[in-house]
Amino acid sequence: MLDITHEEWLRRAKALDLPGVHHIDGADEGGGGAVFAAVSPRDGQVLTQVADGGAHEVDAAVAAARRAFDSGPWPRLAPADRGRMLLRIADLLEERRADLALTVSLEMGKPITDAHDIELRAVITTFRWYGQLADKLHDESPHTAPDALALVTREPAGVVGAVVPWNFPLTLAGWKIAPALAAGCTVVLKPSENSPLSALLLGRIATEAGLPPGVLNVVNGDGPVAGRALGLHPGVDVLAFTGSTAVGRHFLHYSADSNLKRVWLELGGKSPNIVLPDAPDLEKAAATAAWGIFFNQGEMCTAPSRLLVHSSVAEQVTEAIVRRAHELRVGDPLDPATEMGAMVGENHLARVLGHITTGLEEGARLRAGGDRTAGETGGSFLQPTVFDQVDPGMRLAREEIFGPVLSVLTFDDLDEAVRLANATEYGLAAGLWTSDLSTAHRVSRALKAGTVWVNCYEEGDLTVPFGGMKQSGNGRDKSAHALEKYTELKTTWIQL
């Protein structure tokens, strides 16, 4: 972390030059005059006015991306040259790291320490990793009869529409943009209306790095208008979306109602975190469970929001988490000492508080938190919240809350734990704490989740894929597998 004080971050925030217009065809575009306010959840103040895009702006961005793909240099560059451009973007992101982190913190409430050390590290690493991978992919030449030659080649899929949420506005954008660019595609990015500013800066930085016009375009706007226009657009070949399951369904409909574009979805989760009595370190398991649900204000699709703990150690583990909830420092995201910042906005805070009220009405026991805090700031802050005595049928145990709200359920044997873990429509991630190697393997195989962490949570790097099963979506971000979303397989059969 940079050695920057709270006072210095506040000074920098006042002097920060925030973008407010679309970035289309390598230039800033103001749009048709409609704007919306970018409001900071740390104090409820307007940061700037942002151009509000619709079908016209999406048309312009897709047209620019189509020109860049059909007749521009980007898809025709040697892969190594594309890789060098991605590395250049990563270098410029590193140079602007402090301002980008500050922008993320201001627009969505993430603590500045997390924004700088985690969010920016992740997006910079993503561009560097795919930049290094770009010239290391291989086509195939299957063995055939002596009188024929078969070639299987991967070609860039075309224009990619990327729609990303606000909780990790740069990381999740990078997970889609970097592999798409490495594959030779062009991109139209629609960030969340809650976090457009950092995405606009990313678009500018890519152009400054030398990315040809039209290769990366950024259009602001809300989902029902700009997102819908992108999903329905016949000039988009691939649509990659991260967000809620409900909105993911809309994009599948948009594809069916337009050009049958491929749609890749990374959706919600209600991830179980199973703690067995033979966990190698129960205190560490409890500390990690608390960190996992309170990190990023609980606004995590992979958050371990269902703690499944063996009845023999349930109170010990729950009490440790409750202590951590009371100790956690909630406050100004621009204070480097803050551990949990603001929820993204008042509407989302009200939604999470509604889940808490429902939990109380259904009979769960509130052990910590449960109400908003720091009201004098004008910001959208919530106390870290823990419920136990949660029944599997309660909405607390079934619905994604997307906030710092933990539901504790107990079990008496391993089979029951697996049944509880899989008793959800989601299948994004899961955790397991045990000292037994056979148990680790058996349970990991039995869990219906795209990622299973054993004796840890939220660990990994760019070498492994990320994505879900069931209603948590399809396709994979990260790793070489992400390139499968942005390429087409072509077979060429040559009769000799």
Active site residues: 266, 301
Cross-strand partners of 242: 266
Sign of the CA dihedral running 144, 150, 154, 159: negative
Of 469, 464, 477, the C-alpha closest to 180 is 477
Contact 298, 401 (CB under 8 A): yes
Sheet-wide strand order for 306-310? 365-368, 385-388, 405-411, 306-310, 272-275, 429-433, 451-454
d(CA 20, CA 200): 8
Q: Which residues contact residue 303 at a Cβ distance below 8 angstroms, ignoring those fewer than 6 apart?
A: 269, 271, 292, 293, 295, 402
- Give one DSSP letter per residue of 293-325, joined into a string: HHGGGG--TT---EEEEETTTHHHHHHHHHHHH
Q: Which two tokens stand for residue 6?
A: 């709270």
Query: Which secondary structure element, helix H or strand E, spans residue 154, and what is its range?
Result: strand 148-156
Q: Rg of the Cα trace of the chain?
A: 23
d(CA 176, CA 486): 9
Using CA atoms, how far residue 217 sits from 5, 205, 478, in Å, is 35, 12, 21
Distance of CA 336 to the CA centre of its chain: 23
Contact 378, 43 (CB under 8 A): yes
d(CA 263, CA 260): 9
Q: Which of helix, strand or coil describes residue 422? A: helix
